[in-house]
Amino acid sequence: MDDVATDGGQLDHELFNKTAETPSYTRRERFTRKLDAYFYAPMAVAWNDWRARIGSGILLFFLLMGTVGPYIVTEPSTLQGPIFLDPFKTLEHPLGTGITGKDLLSQLVHATPAMLKMITAGALLSIVLATVIGTVAGYKGGKIDNILMSLTDIVLTVPGLALVLVIASVYPPRNPWVVGLILGIDNWPGLARTIRSQVLSIREEAYVEASRAMGLSKWRIIRKDLISQLMPYISINMATSSRGIIFESVALYFLGILPFTSLNWGVLLNVAYHESNLRSPDNIHFILLPMLTIALISLGFVLFAQGMDRIFNVRLRAKHAKKVGGDDDSAEVSGKL
């Protein structure tokens, strides 16, 4: 019995040493493992979700439309084609022409870059401010929390439309990047408060306490333990904020509040409303085409955000990391975490 016990103890000790050993990898192996974990696995998870596939395809289409499209499609000009040409009549003007003979397809394509700039600037500003202020306020607490939340409440009480009207009247924004930043000013306070409430519950979790006990810096804990857990929620709100920037900018340009310094979908709606007889069914496509474009890109953001929820799921990523060549044991451990 003593021999059996001794052999069992030695076996346990050997297994413990084998498990505790830190595997040594070459630089190429470390690069491959990181590529599997941070690129191949998320791509595999996204590809298995139809919402992520369709949403990514729609957004990629508009990205190419706003970057490559203007170099391929001729810039719209007066008397580019016959006046009031109906859509799907000729291949040269597939979507028809307007009152001045401008090609509608050319106008849609060349209006996309300005919209992408406004979406990027406004959404990034609102998401970055909300994430930083919400996580710091929730994790730090005390005076910092009071100061940041007081600032958030002040911005929250300011009417966004009134703020845009004042800024547009005093300093009319002519750059799409500036327009996006202005529209993003009033989009972050609500999200910052929601993120703060989420952080207040997450910071009491065992793994956050373990990180603090290990002596990790506060910024590392905020970045690795808090923000990483909130990424699905943040990605959803990224899509919501992008849609909000689209609707706000289009509405302000349609109403003529912002100056028509660059061609965008709001300007197209304004031109269609004032220069076309929309009471006639033959002219309804002038306003329907920009509206369908806005609805399609909004759908792309929604589907993409829903697919991001699966990408940030640790168990799914560990499962696919194991399939694409990751270490079996490490993948199983990551999945259990």
Q: What is the pLDDT of residue 329?
A: 43
Residue 139 lies in a domain: yes
Which letter does DSSP use for residue 119 in this model? H
Which pTM value belongs to this model? Answer: 0.76
More confident residue, 145 or 203: 145
The percent of residues above 70 in pLDDT, for the chain, comes to: 80
Tabulate helix, strand, coil % of the chain (nearest 5).
Answer: 75, 0, 25
Q: Check residue 202 and give its pLDDT.
A: 84
- Comparing 25-34, 51-60, 106-115, 236-245, which segment has the lowest mean pLDDT? 25-34
Q: Which of 37-41, 56-60, 153-157 has the lowest mean pLDDT?
A: 37-41
DSSP collapsed to 3 states, 49-101: CHHHHHHHHHHHHHHHHHHCHHHHCCCCCCCCCCCCCCCCCCCCCCCCECCCC
> How is residue 141 written in tokens?
């607490």
* 317 within a domain of the structure (yes/no): yes
Residue 284, class by beta-carbon neighbours within 10 Å (0-12 exposed, 13-18 middle, 19+ buried)? middle
Q: What is the pLDDT of residue 330?
A: 41
Does the residue 184 lie in any domain?
yes
Residue 303 lies in a domain: yes
Per the listing, tokens 């994790």 go with 139
- Residue 119 to residue 113: CA distance in whole angstroms: 10
Distances (CA, A) of 9 to 3, 4, 256: 10, 9, 81
pLDDT the model gives residue 108: 92
DSSP code at position 312:
T
Average the pLDDT over 121-126 and give the result.
91
Half-sphere exposure of 41 (CA within 13 A, CB side): 27
Is residue 64's pLDDT more than 90?
yes
Residue 90 belongs to some domain of the structure:
yes
CA 191/CA 130 separation, integer angstroms:
6
pLDDT of residue 11: 45
Question: What amino acid occupies position 94?
Answer: P
Residue 16 lies in a domain: no
* Chain segment 89-110, per-residue pLDDT in tens: 888 888 888 877 888 899 999 9
The CATH number that applies at residue 329 is 1.10.3720.10
pLDDT of residue 39: 66
Predicted local distance difference test score (pLDDT) of residue 24:
64
Does pLDDT of 325 surpass 50? no
Which domain, by its residues, includes 144? Answer: 29-336
pLDDT in tens, 124-136: 999 999 999 998 8
Those residues whose C-beta lies under 8 Å from the C-beta of residue 144, and which sit 6 or more positions away, are 136, 137
In a domain, 165, yes or no: yes
Give yes or no for residue 37 having a pLDDT over 80: no
123-132, 222-231, 276-285: which range is least confident on average?
276-285
86, 98, 108, 167, 282 from 288: Cα distances, Å: 13, 13, 12, 30, 11
Q: Has residue 86 got a pLDDT over 60?
A: yes
In a domain, 4, yes or no: no
**DSSP-derived secondary structure letter, 313:** -
Number of compact structural domains in the chain: 1
Residue 72 predicted with pLDDT over 50: yes
